[in-house]
Chain A
Amino acid sequence: MPDLTVAYRSFGLGEPRPYLVLMVTGPDGTKQGPIPGLIDTGADGTVLPFGYAPLMGYEPADLVAEQATQVGGSVTMHRATRPGRAFVPEIPDLVFEITPSFVQGARIALWGRKDLLHHFEMSIAERRKEFSLTKL
């Protein structure tokens, strides 16, 4: 039985989609806040709009520029060299590290495989417009 089943929601952006809100803490452990993101099996890891970097307390020295591939071509992303932490608010006993990559111009947070999905088995029920997470 899954630990959490979440209904799709729209966040005021059109049709309902598989958004998951994570409570995210920056590398120094003091800056915490909720971030809504889409579950994305196509993303290798956590990808965040660049504006979240200062909110999480990342300094330029904490980030290294790398080239990455996205659906529209190549993109420069800034990978954190110090991990943050995250947890699903409804499952607070499982706190896991995330190593986000920040992308200028990105407007959607993506919860990719190496962070969130390394700790949860996930299934999507598109017809019911919901997804489920089970702790590993």
Chain B
Amino acid sequence: MAAVRQGPEVLEDLTKYAGSWVAIRDGKVIASALDSVELRNKPGIEDTDLLMPVPDVASGAFVL
């Protein structure tokens, strides 16, 4: 079975949004805000948009 990617890859470097929340549609950042509710309430944000926080240090290794 070929691996799927679950939607388009986010090609944009998100490090410039470090510490913020971003809304992603079709693999592109369409909006950002300092918190999740502010982002969701922005005009044009849809329920199908992917909302996610960007780590404060987005370019480093993950140790979870």
Whole-angstrom distance from the CB of B44 to the nearest CB of chain A? 15
In the complex, how many residues of chain A place their beta carbon closer than 8 angstroms to a beta carbon of chain B?
Answer: 42
Report which B residues bind A (CB closer than 8 A): 1-7, 9-15, 21, 29, 35-37, 40, 47-56, 58-60, 62-64
Q: List 25 A-B contacts (CB under 8 A).
A: A4-B1, A4-B4, A5-B4, A9-B6, A10-B9, A10-B10, A11-B9, A11-B14, A12-B15, A13-B58, A14-B60, A20-B6, A21-B6, A32-B47, A35-B51, A36-B52, A40-B64, A51-B37, A52-B36, A54-B36, A54-B37, A55-B36, A90-B6, A107-B53, A107-B55
Report which A residues bind B (CB closer than 8 A): 1-2, 4-7, 9-14, 17, 19-21, 32-36, 38, 40, 42-43, 49, 51-52, 54-55, 70-71, 89-90, 106-110, 128, 130, 132
